[in-house]
Copies of this chain bind each other. A is one copy, B any other.
Amino acid sequence: MVTTPTENNRVLLASRPEGEPTAENFRIETAAVPEPADGEVLLRTVYLSLDPYMRGRMSAAKSYAAPVEVGAVMEGGTVAEVVESRSPDLEPGDLVLSHLGWQEYGVQPARHVRRLDPARAPISTAVGALGMPGFTAYAGLLQIGRPQPGETVVVAAATGPVGSMVGQIAKVKGARAVGIAGGPQKVAFLQELGFDVALDHRSPTFREDLKAAVPDGIDVYFENVGGHVWDAVLPRLNTYARVPVCGLIAHYNATEAPEGPNRVPQLMQAILTKSLTVRGFIQNEFVKEHYRGFQEEVSAWIREGRVAYKEDVVKGLENAPEAFFGLLRGENFGKLLVQVGPDPTR
């Protein structure tokens, strides 16, 4: 039963971070619950998705999306419940994928949300395995990486919602999957997920471990990390290797370029002599053509047990900033969600 709420707790961007964000960059405040206009719905946040791209939105630097304004609610994808509807398409109690940001309640035009079927998959997957992170993996791997049977696919942050999906889809497509993660617990989980080899990038022998793990070289490196992993991967890439680039979490908090020498010439030389394809992308680019196929294929693979996913659920909106800092440090283990309010399906 849905009651009429009066207070809306929300997390605002208080200031832009220099380097690693801190608690001072956020401010929690209580506002009035907004009222839906014609065609709109009032939504209650159940799950807020925390994702690395949000670090970019905190900065004023030009990127593929506009930054969050200082004083505005932090952006973010949400799974929410309809509290009040002024649209014939939705009614109270409906569960929807929405983009409310870091707050308990929000209003959106009904046509901007998508109704979820809890019978089809747990609703939290709408922001994970069956949502933006899963689609990032699916589209980047299949449209840019194009792994062929028997080829070797390497991915870092491999227990995360993107990386874990990349490795598992690579296996579905008959490729060898090598996953890289931080720490023995995550490495063990990659083995459970069916990765052929799981490596710990914190190991002092990481470079040698990677070399030994890819005796036939690397055909696809799905780049979502950057830093020393990319440095170790580059010499192992095969001729015609493909490198979809969807994230560079190792660099998001950097305040200046790292010490020299400048290795851009070396990177360009590798691109030239090995006929590499290095291709940045944002999943939006592929939505129109491939989103429906993604939903059908991946939900089937989940049902068939060919693809598994792991969630890391933090309770309470007030804990979102801390959880986000941990995400940037690689401390989450699986898809990071903030449970903002009760999940009516559980």
Contacts and interface: CB of A to CB of B under 8 A. Distances in A.
Size bin of chain A's contact surface: 35 or more
A268 B239 contact: no
A70 interface: no
Contacts of A275: 64, 279-282, 285
Contact of A239 (B64, B254, B261, B264): B64
Oligomer copy total: 2
A262 B260 contact: yes
Interface in A248-290: 248, 251, 254, 256-282, 285
A262 B265 contact: no
A223 interface: yes
Given A259-B260, A262-B257, A223 B268 contact: yes
Contacts of A281: 275
Contact of A265 (B251, B269, B277, B278): B251
Nearest to A273: B63
A267 B264 contact: yes
B269 A251 contact: yes
Nearest to A235: B62
Contacts of A46: none
A272 B246 contact: yes
Given A226-B265, A265-B226, A245 B258 contact: no
21 contacts: A64-B273, A64-B275, A230-B264, A230-B268, A248-B268, A248-B269, A248-B272, A251-B268, A251-B269, A254-B265, A257-B262, A257-B263, A258-B261, A259-B260, A259-B262, A260-B260, A262-B262, A263-B263, A270-B280, A273-B280, A279-B279
